[in-house]
Chain A
């Protein structure tokens, strides 16, 4: 393992390639956030690998001066799994979008989450197909009018965080591309987590789905329309945290305030049932939960896989292909 000999800066992670996202795309903010975060992690530049699928978000690896593999539609989780198994020293990032991860790659997404391979998944959710010029995606709201649905889409949308939880993810978080501070904090925790860290990032597509997150993402409404989930703290939101979310004995959420504020449910990121309730809070009746929703400690797939190899090795007398070929039912012809 090469030791890091010099302090890296944001510049070290920038590539000379022209960034080809549309001007004003939410992806720029995420790129900048990553380029700012990576130098602080104490991980050598060559140890980072960005693996992506297809879509606007999946162009991401070209703009990071690390190792990068821009693969095929929906399959980045599979390729990243193989990479991490082959080379467990690496810090592997999967960059994907709502169509890539949840539509064409839905199967791989689910299995990556349950296996808990030690890598980070950044899902750029803009609730639209951008690169193919504007069809509705699996996270688009029902009734969405797009080129492919001129009379409105019929599908009920999927909630990525709830899906990740249901699939057995060990780290589930939400962030907003334009909230640099919140995004950095979540990504920092994601890198530190051992296992598959799933981060859904709400990212605006200013060409095909502009303003998709304004209702809760705009700076002036964030306070009242988002609830930042902090471990061990009550679920408070609103001006001066004057409101709270409380789950009753019927498991249904209620907004509490005034004298009832003390009844606000206390977040506990290791409580999966609670995380599922929080993740699925309906908007706009309730604020959108942001931050780390859930985290659990569970052995990673890659660690288990290599441990198994080592254990079998230790308990086996046959350590070469020759020994295996020569064993069992053999006979000699002279």
Chain B
């Protein structure tokens, strides 16, 4: 990874050094504005043209007691001139706004990494509160291991703002912009966009805008003059595909993908949700875009949200609901009804660590079995998984396409890591996306009766006869249907036939999937099979392992049910298959059952994503086991 020179000898003129990638974490108290600082730094880095990935990590509590470990909020960004796969295993720079932030994050700082601390908050009381007996900044061992940069950020901010008429408490809040100024200078980021942003954000509050801007400039000036920084660093732009970009979080990506699908199908997006971490931001995002004819409905509970979405689908629009694991459980009965009624429905699960309430702001991929098998009866649904924030747009669009064209509920799996993380997104020309064509039936077939469960021969999907269409009056519901006719039926052979048809029509959707791509080795020792948010870490680990001479191929699955038809053929080209997952081996379980083949499972449930180095270690072990 990146070369980072030790910066112990103060120099008077700053030289500029080039780096290929840098990982920085801004950490502080929940109220310190670390998410904002990180987001602004991200925007400036994106504008420079770096590839990047971010990972916000914040407590579930809105404001845990100040200065405590529970209250630490952090934002990590990894940016580079090379392809960036993850937010970074190890940190080059840690900005710690208080002792709790230092204690909670120091373990991730690499040897010789830079530690920028706000010394003003290292008071006796704050140190004592988290169990430091002495000030860690005075510790010689710390100074030997890391490049410690003690800065009186609060004092310096207040001094820079001494002309301001704002109250002291407001001025203190500007200290995050001081810190941002320091780091922006250190990594040669422009600050123009942030200045503009401050102007927009505090429109009508000129004093506040001025104070924040001055704090930012004071930070830059400090970094320019400080002997702690003998060098500044340059991270050149990455070779990204040409086009217009924006930074996108996974939750935003989903919202935009849904809106695009609504536009491409000519339907209204009817989004029904109930607040839950980490899915609420999708609701917030869609709610902003009523100008596109999208409707949002904040229901009384998860069940009603799913019910309203299904009702909207029954009414002929694009019905979508979202939640996280606990809420998905509550929706399952309604999803079962959608299976029986054979209506389109998109259900988004932004997974978080469970079981039960678990760890709402921490990530996990442990809902796979829940979404596929968490309903009564034989109840097949389609399931797709998002691989990264930018991919959220595309996979959400694909989920809508399948739901609408095949008349089926489709699960869209995301997780907290994708939902809150961000990366550059190449904005597509929406014109070029293919139209979505739902199988509406607009009038009664001439001279014939209308049968609600008459199926398309090829796909086995039924037609979408929306209420209000003359001559198509019919009744549907959760009770077993007579094949074709749709009347209630308890006939044994009919139930067998309908169960078979429901399974077969989901299987046939795989015919519309693109060819499964194998990255890296096309055959050989080890195939790594991953899904969901582990994409970046696995792809990065595979790339590095290949360059180290290992025989590793990588398939990242978007389609989890049905599996792509060409998957089995790929397995046979490798000696071993390894399935890394942030759960106890759920995909591995499904694959073993389906393909009667051994799959090694690499599982992790710490509420944290995989790191590249732990994956590489495991790849090597697996391959050593072969030879």
Contacts and interface: CB of A to CB of B under 8 A. Distances in A.
A67 B467 contact: yes
B193 A87 contact: no
Interface string A83-99: 11111011000000000
Interface residues of B, number: 74
A123 to B, nearest CB: 18
A329 interface: yes
B159 interface: no
Interface string B325-363: 000000001101100010000000000000000000000
A326 interface: yes
Contacts of B341: 69
A17 interface: yes
B454 interface: no
A321 interface: yes
Interface in A310-334: 312-313, 315-316, 318-322, 324-326, 328-334
Q: Which of A62, A75, A321 has the most CB of B within 10 A?
A: A321
B290 A111 contact: no
B304 A17 contact: no
A326 B244 contact: yes
Interface stretch (B22-30, B472-480, B498-506, B589-597): B472-480
Contact of A305 (B295, B430, B431, B475): B295
Contacts of A107: 300-301, 304
Contacts of A52: 477
Contact of A309 (B49, B241, B293): B293
Contact of A46 (B268, B337, B428, B468): B468
Contacts of B308: 78-79, 81-82, 85
Interface residues of A, number: 64
Contacts of B289: 324
B544 interface: no
B389 to A, nearest CB: 14
Contacts of B473: 45-46, 65-67
A46 B319 contact: no
A80 B307 CA distance: 8
Contacts of B119: none
B513 interface: no
B514 interface: no
A80 B315 CA distance: 9
A193 interface: no
A86 B315 CA distance: 6
B244 A312 contact: no
A78 B304 contact: yes
A286 to B, nearest CB: 34
Interface stretch (B65-73, B165-173, B255-263): B255-263
Contacts of A108: 300, 303-304, 307
Contacts of B431: 322
Contacts of A67: 467-468, 472-475
A72 interface: yes
Q: Which of B256, B259, B312 has the most CB of A within 10 A?
A: B312
Given A2-B470, A87-B315, A71 B307 contact: yes
Given A17-B488, A78-B303, A320 B312 contact: no
B475 A86 contact: no
B469 interface: yes
A49 interface: yes
B292 A72 contact: no
Contact of A330 (B306, B427, B470): B427
Given A75-B303, A320-B292, A324-B259, A87 B430 contact: no
20 contacts: A46-B467, A69-B341, A70-B475, A70-B476, A75-B303, A75-B333, A78-B299, A81-B297, A81-B304, A82-B270, A83-B312, A85-B297, A85-B311, A316-B291, A318-B292, A321-B259, A324-B259, A325-B246, A330-B245, A332-B243
Q: 9 tightest CB-CB pairs across the interface, nearest first?
A: A82-B311, A70-B477, A78-B307, A86-B315, A82-B308, A316-B291, A78-B304, A87-B315, A68-B475
Interface of B: 43, 46-47, 49, 193, 237, 240-247, 256, 259-260, 263, 268, 270, 272, 289-295, 297, 299-301, 303-317, 319, 333-334, 336-337, 341, 427-431, 466-479, 487-488
Interface of A: 1-2, 15, 17, 44-47, 49, 51-52, 54, 61-62, 64-72, 75, 77-87, 89-90, 107-108, 110-111, 305-306, 308-309, 312-313, 315-316, 318-322, 324-326, 328-334
